Amino acid sequence: MELKEQINLEKLPKHIAIIMDGNGRWAKEQGKLRIFGHNKGVESVRQVVEAAVEIGVPFLTLYAFSTENWNRPKFEVAALMEILVSAINKETKTLMKNGVKLNAIGDLKQLPAPCLKQLMRAMDITANNSKCTLTLALSYSARQEILETTKKLIDKVQRGELKAEQINDEVFSDHLETADIPDPELMIRTSGEQRVSNFLLWQLAYSELYFIDKLWPEFGKNDFYEAIVAFQKRERRFGLTSEQLS
């Protein structure tokens, strides 16, 4: 039986988040520059988005560029931005064809103007699509998101719009950048690294974490399906006992 056929479509995770790691290492193994790996990684993005649409995963979030990534060599950062603009240009038609709505979180004002312009254009074009919401985390830091959310809530309390005792998990979540997106039920990270690297720290509180040794450019549809099959075999207790769940 193929992996896709092993998936229980009645128990799909509503939201899958992915840390796309290993582009540079993959390129190095090929004797190429790191940028070659980033270019190749775009194909893996296409495969994963198509796979999500095919089986009906409504939300997909990809960690594309962290705030820490700005500290990489300027040449690599500039090339990454060019790849991002090119990929968005090329993939907008495919997003429309597959009914995918493009979304973005992070400190987007840090992006180069041409990159931000193309991103906003693609988001506008795909705004009415409803099969899947693809969120790109760009210039993103979960710690910074939590700090900014805290400041928003403090400001509301000071202006009398909110009482401190009214602040709970739900209110806090409603002020995050992902307010309109359910928390990920499954987080996938490629390349064998086993950490969350400042990605969706609040939202991943009860996510199932899945680590795979494959580098991102090697990751395809079957790997995506395999992660979902593994997820569906896990018991999600949320602090309860197995007996309570049964």
CA distances from 243 to 230, 238, 239 (A): 22, 13, 12
List, in sequence order, the alpha helices (H) in 104-167. 113-125, 142-158
DSSP structural state of residue 99: T
Q: Give the active site residue among 8, 21, 124, 198.
A: 21
Residue type, 79: A
Does residue 20 contact residue 64 with C-beta atoms inside 8 Å?
yes
Identify whether 69 is a catalytic site residue: yes
Beta-sheet strand order (sheet of 208-211): 100-105, 132-140, 59-66, 15-19, 186-189, 208-211
CA distance between the termini of the chain: 29
Identify whether 155 is a catalytic site residue: no
Rounded Cα–Cα distance for residues 197 and 174 (Å): 23
CA distances from 246 to 185, 223, 239, 243 (A): 20, 30, 14, 5
Counting beta carbons within 10 angstroms of the beta carbon of residue 164, is it exposed (0 to 12), middle (13 to 18) or buried (19 or more)? exposed
Q: Give the active site residue among 69, 107, 129, 198.
A: 69
Active site residues per annotation: 21, 69
